[in-house]
Amino acid sequence: MDWSKRKATAQLAEMAAGDTVLLAGWVHRHRHHGGLVFFDLRDRSGVVQVVVHPENPAFALAARLRPEWVVEVRGQIALRETAAVNPKIATGRIEVVPSELAVLAEAAPPPISPSDEGEIDEGLRLRHRYLDLRRPQMQRNLEIRHLALQTARRVLTEQGFWEVETPNLTRSTPEGARDFLVPSRLAKGRFYALPQSPQLFKQLLMVAGIERYFQVVHCFRDEDLRADRQLEFVQIDIEQSFVDREDVIALAERLTVALVREVAGWEVPDAFDRLTYRQAMDRYGSDHPDVRFGMPIEDLKQRAEGGVVPFLAQALGAGERVVALNCPARLSRKQVEEMAERSGLALAWLSVEAGETKGSLARFFDAKGAGAWGVADGTLLVGHGVGDEFLQQMGGLRLRIARELGLIPEGRHQFVWVTDFPLLEWNAEDGRWQAVHHPFTAPLDEDAEQIESHPAQVRSKQYDLVLDGNEVAGGSIRIHQRDVQERVFARIGLSAEQAAEKFQFLLEAFRYGAPPHGGIAFGFDRLVMLMAGMPTIRDVIAFPLLSSGADPLTGAPTEVADDQLQELGISVRPPAAPGRPDPA
């Protein structure tokens, strides 16, 4: 069979009546009128209608066709009569009259239909992913992913970056997420780890003088899955030498703008707005704020100081913050109580209806007084508490209200940088300081001297790129001075000996002339998800895992044969029976 003449159905829209074409694809829908048969032939590019009249030798076979059969059609393009033109499909102006029709493969009735648009159970979709991926929406998603990959490679190559691959079988490192371990057969009892990111290798590449590196790289983190998190995910990983923060940000903007303009067709500015971590927390209660809508967290310190509401003045006196969300809609008591509970907040509230104040604060205010606190047609939701954790609860409330009231504009997309993250955070569970980003992140020059004296005050050269409330990229300028690196290690409780043992290869490399360097990594699946307008990254990954970590298509993860384990020197302890204590 010579397929070289085969046309894609989408090409047919431009062809002239009478042209002979060879097509092949799947029967999408089949319409049998007794004396006349229509079927839609689907390939990757779209669909085209094939019409078979009773005098056509192919008629008997055409009448027998069923959905998802694979067929080959040789035939002529015919213009449809005006009344028969279908403006809803790209090839709706024409149809194909077959001179030859052949069935290349019959198909059993599919458990999920590629021609249906409705919701289907996700487990079933993944069980039959090859059918799910036949759906035009899923094919568009994979095409968007492909275009994004090619655009990223092109833009970075234009900017002088080399794509360098780094190993998947590497060493387990402390800090960060749980590692996936791979047992070594050659060295029984020892394990490789799959990389959580190529962080250390890309820094070594900078020491190696590569200067500009990128990689489309699979990363592995053994944590619980979410709509935007898989055990295995893809980063566009970038690192540059002889740069400071502004250089990396400018490069990331250049790449991001090219991606969303070319692939998604969005209109975005050449450079993005910025917030410091402090501003993001204070205004939005999040380090990845959705800035597509307003309703910022307002500080009520000045108003509450007046003592109009005694318990708020008391809270201030006790060193708490008093803040509010000015919700643009009048909420019922029930709504407020429900939102307060789901946000874990004790909320006071105030609204004005027909000149009467309503809500738990109503007794402290008349309508005029409420107006002075900013209450108009909506509801003022007041909370008080301490620290970023409290602000995050308010931020969660802000998002909940926005979703419920539909305040988030559809079809609008907004990037924002978050900078000046804290370098360190206190881990109460382990009773020690730990790196917010990773231990190689450089402190701001002006804050570095406080690493020992005021660790919580030290800001870092970390920057995160946020799109519509999703963290889509994050990076930092790295420490390239040995003494600073040692001070950070010491602060997070790694002695010189421990640091030497765990990161010896990096520290040793740094002895031989490390250039100043920094980089950024894009969460590629997430970015594609947002560009494709999908609710989960599973929709832009060809073969994702369920949120249980299982793959219903292959059955992974599975048990393995005893001799496989033996060869690796591994014995498996059976999981504890339900309701019984672990025998170990």
Partner RNA sequence: GGAGGCGUGGUGUAGUUGGUUAACAUAACGCCCUGUCACGGCGUAGAUCACGGGUUCGAGUCCCGUCGCCUCCGCCA
Find the part of the chain contacting RNA (CB under 7 A) among 83-91, 141-149, 183-191, 477-485.
83-91
Q: Please tell me whether residue 61 binds RNA under the rule CB under 7 A.
A: no
Find the part of the chain contacting RNA (CB under 7 A) among 25-33, 186-194, 369-377, 565-573.
25-33
Place of tokens 């069980």: 127
Considering the complex, what minimum distance in angstroms separates the CB of residue 411 from RNA?
21
Q: Please tell me whether residue 99 binds RNA under the rule CB under 7 A.
A: no
Q: Please tell me whether residue 149 binds RNA under the rule CB under 7 A.
A: no
Considering the complex, what minimum distance in angstroms separates the CB of residue 45 from RNA?
16
CA–CA distance from 378 to each of 4, 154, 202, 431 (Å)?
66, 49, 51, 44
> Contact with RNA (CB under 7 A): which of 1, 16, 88, 186?
88
Q: Please tell me whether residue 435 binds RNA under the rule CB under 7 A.
A: yes
Q: How many residues belong to the site for RNA (CB under 7 A)?
A: 66
Find the part of the chain contacting RNA (CB under 7 A) among 78-86, 148-156, 182-190, 380-388.
78-86
Considering the complex, what minimum distance in angstroms separates the CB of residue 506 from RNA?
12
Provide the token pair at 328: 């643009």
Q: Which of residues 196-255 bind RNA (CB under 7 A)?
A: 196-197, 199, 221, 223-229
* Nearest CA among 214, 208, 205 for reference residue 238: 214
CA–CA distance from 22 to each of 27, 28, 67, 99, 117 (Å)?
15, 17, 20, 10, 28
Place of tokens 């927390």: 281
Burial label for 82, CB within 10 Å (0-12, 13-18, 19+), is exposed
Place of tokens 């602060």: 491
CA–CA distance from 101 to each of 8, 57, 405 (Å)?
16, 9, 55
Considering the complex, what minimum distance in angstroms separates the CB of residue 328 from RNA?
24
Q: Please tell me whether residue 49 binds RNA under the rule CB under 7 A.
A: yes
Task: Report the distance separating Cα 144 and Cα 540, nearest Å.
Answer: 9
> Contact with RNA (CB under 7 A): which of 23, 40, 166, 312?
40
Shorter beta-carbon distance to RNA: residue 149 or 225: 225
Considering the complex, what minimum distance in angstroms separates the CB of residue 55 from RNA?
7
Q: Please tell me whether residue 403 binds RNA under the rule CB under 7 A.
A: no
Within 10 Å of residue 210's Cβ, how many Cβ atoms? 17
> Contact with RNA (CB under 7 A): which of 89, 90, 208, 444?
89
> Contact with RNA (CB under 7 A): which of 352, 536, 540, 541?
536
* Nearest CA among 319, 287, 301 for reference residue 474: 287
Shorter beta-carbon distance to RNA: residue 74 or 437: 437
* Nearest CA among 405, 381, 415, 378 for reference residue 292: 415
> Contact with RNA (CB under 7 A): which of 99, 157, 457, 548?
548
Determine how β-strand 415-419 pairs with β-strand 273-276: parallel
Considering the complex, what minimum distance in angstroms separates the CB of residue 37 from RNA?
8
220 and 180 Cβ atoms separated by less than 8 Å? yes
Q: Would you tell me the crossing angle of helices 524-532 and 136-158 to the nearest 10 degrees?
A: 130
Within 10 Å of residue 513's Cβ, how many Cβ atoms? 9
* Nearest CA among 483, 471, 474, 491 for reference residue 423: 491
* Nearest CA among 200, 119, 69, 57 for reference residue 499: 200
DSSP state of 64: H
Considering the complex, what minimum distance in angstroms separates the CB of residue 451 from RNA?
16
Task: Report the distance separating Cα 195 and Cα 331, nearest Å.
Answer: 48
Task: Report the distance separating Cα 555 and Cα 224, nearest Å.
Answer: 19
Q: Please tell me whether residue 95 binds RNA under the rule CB under 7 A.
A: yes
Q: Please tell me whether residue 38 binds RNA under the rule CB under 7 A.
A: yes
- Residue 417: strand pairing partners: 274, 465
Shorter beta-carbon distance to RNA: residue 296 or 519: 519
> Contact with RNA (CB under 7 A): which of 20, 44, 57, 111?
111
Task: Report the distance separating Cα 584 and Cα 564, nearest Å.
Answer: 24
Q: What stretches of 496-582 adopt beta strand conformation (E)?
A: 517-523
> Contact with RNA (CB under 7 A): which of 20, 44, 57, 84?
84
Task: Report the distance separating Cα 380 and Cα 82, nearest Å.
Answer: 59
Shorter beta-carbon distance to RNA: residue 307 or 387: 387
> Contact with RNA (CB under 7 A): which of 285, 439, 443, 519?
439
> Contact with RNA (CB under 7 A): which of 189, 431, 578, 581?
578
Q: Please tell me whether residue 137 binds RNA under the rule CB under 7 A.
A: no
Shorter beta-carbon distance to RNA: residue 120 or 210: 120
> Contact with RNA (CB under 7 A): which of 92, 328, 369, 385?
92
CA–CA distance from 211 to each of 156, 159, 253, 261, 480 (Å)?
13, 12, 19, 28, 14
Q: Please tell me whether residue 121 binds RNA under the rule CB under 7 A.
A: yes
Q: What is the dihedral of CA 368, 372, 376, 381, to 10 degrees?
A: -120
> Contact with RNA (CB under 7 A): which of 10, 13, 36, 182?
36
Shorter beta-carbon distance to RNA: residue 47 or 152: 47
| Per-residue contact string for residues 353-372; x = within reach of RNA by CB under 7 A | --------------------
Q: Please tell me whether residue 285 binds RNA under the rule CB under 7 A.
A: no
Q: Please tell me whether residue 10 binds RNA under the rule CB under 7 A.
A: no
Task: Report the distance separating Cα 225 and Cα 126, nearest Å.
Answer: 16
> How remote is the C-alpha of 181 from its chain's centroid?
25
200 and 521 Cβ atoms separated by less than 8 Å? no
Q: Please tell me whether residue 112 binds RNA under the rule CB under 7 A.
A: yes
> Contact with RNA (CB under 7 A): which of 42, 129, 145, 437?
437
Q: Please tell me whether residue 93 binds RNA under the rule CB under 7 A.
A: no
**Binding footprint of RNA on the chain (CB under 7 A):** 29, 31-36, 38, 40, 49, 51, 53-55, 66-67, 80-81, 83-86, 88-89, 92, 95, 109, 111-113, 116, 118-124, 175-178, 196-197, 199, 221, 223-229, 434-439, 536, 538, 546-548, 550, 578
